[in-house]
Amino acid sequence: MINLILLRRSDKQNPRDFEDIRLHIAERADDINVHIFDAKAQLWPLAPEVSRHPSITVSPMPLRNYKSPRGPVFQGFEFPKSDQYSRLAKIGIRVADWQGIEPDTKLDPDRWGPYVVVKPDLGRKGAGIQIKRTTRVKYKPPNLFPDQHPGRKAPMLAQRFIYTGPWACCYRVVTLFGKALLSWHCEIDHSFRPLKSRFEFKELGGISIVSNKRSSTYQLAFEEDVIAFAEAAHAAFPDQALLGHDVVRDHDTGDLFMLECNPRGDTWLFSSYIGKKIQKENGIDFCAQFGGLSLAADILIEETRRRAR
């Protein structure tokens, strides 16, 4: 018998999802015993016999108190964007040029273009992301940022601007152990002013470069090159089971770039609050796209048999 220990968080995933996965696995793999616990638990009532059989632990989110009885643990971890970019570049995944903003930073417009993206090394939901004229990018001490700004907690980065079209758009591909569970395309609400060419910022105001706003529109995406790009990127994070890859396509060249992989793991979009909201408001079903929970069960069966120790 092989043990698969699934750790979920009821505030990030519907517990029913994991029960459904357990049922799928029971129907297809009588050699795997699935245990499900809350990732935030203080005590772990694992039977002593669990430690006598090969095991694997999978948690989309980071763990604090858990100690594995046996076998490898795959859990979420919040890597800074700079660490993500270095890992991705090392395995040949294309990321836009970037560098940390330090006290002596001076960016050359001949290299970077007239405008660059300034973003926090640690941040979520587009917080702290701005487009700035390249010659005006300067270091700012953390204590001078507003209280809730992510720049108070981590360095700021400058990154080459990728033009995705008149209205900012991106893809999100969620992968489990390197296989796509779902894929969407997100585009900013057309009530925002369009960016008609790559560097038209000086002529127009009211332009946003962040695509995932509350009023954005979402649709299921099936572009094979985007999905393959995201699946390949998962190899940069071998110890994280669940990733949510944010991918953009350059409007003029068609090249794909990885913005980040969200390795912290709060991207279980089948039943998370934001996932349910997106599905309801846009009339889409993430589970129906590729098989959802059934596909997750198949992936976990394969990985449990391969990785349990």
CATH of residue 257's domain is 3.30.470.20
Residue 177, helix vs strand vs coil: coil
**Ranges in the chain, pLDDT < 70:** 125, 203-206
Q: How far apart are CA 295 and CA 182, in angstroms?
A: 10
DSSP 66-111: ---SSS-EEE-----HHHHHHHHHHTT-----EEE--TT----HHH
- Measured between alpha carbons, how far is residue 160 from residues 128, 176, 213, 271 in Å? 16, 29, 21, 34
- pLDDT of res. 208: 78
- What are 159-188's pLDDT values in tens digits? 999 999 999 999 999 999 999 999 999 999
- pLDDT of res. 65: 84
Task: Return the residue matching tokens 């390795």.
Answer: 263
Residue 91, helix vs strand vs coil: coil
Q: What's the number of domains the chain is made of?
A: 3
Asked if 205 and 143 sit in the same domain, the reply is no
- pLDDT of res. 128: 85
Asked if 201 and 86 sit in the same domain, the reply is yes
pTM score of the predicted model: 0.95
Asked if 123 and 255 sit in the same domain, the reply is no
CB 200 within 8 A of CB 241: no
Q: Domain limits at 141?
A: 97-161
Q: How far apart are CA 151 and CA 251, in angstroms?
A: 30
Asked if 36 and 117 sit in the same domain, the reply is no
Asked if 101 and 12 sit in the same domain, the reply is no
How many CB atoms lie under 10 A from the CB of residue 11? 12
Residue 136, helix vs strand vs coil: helix
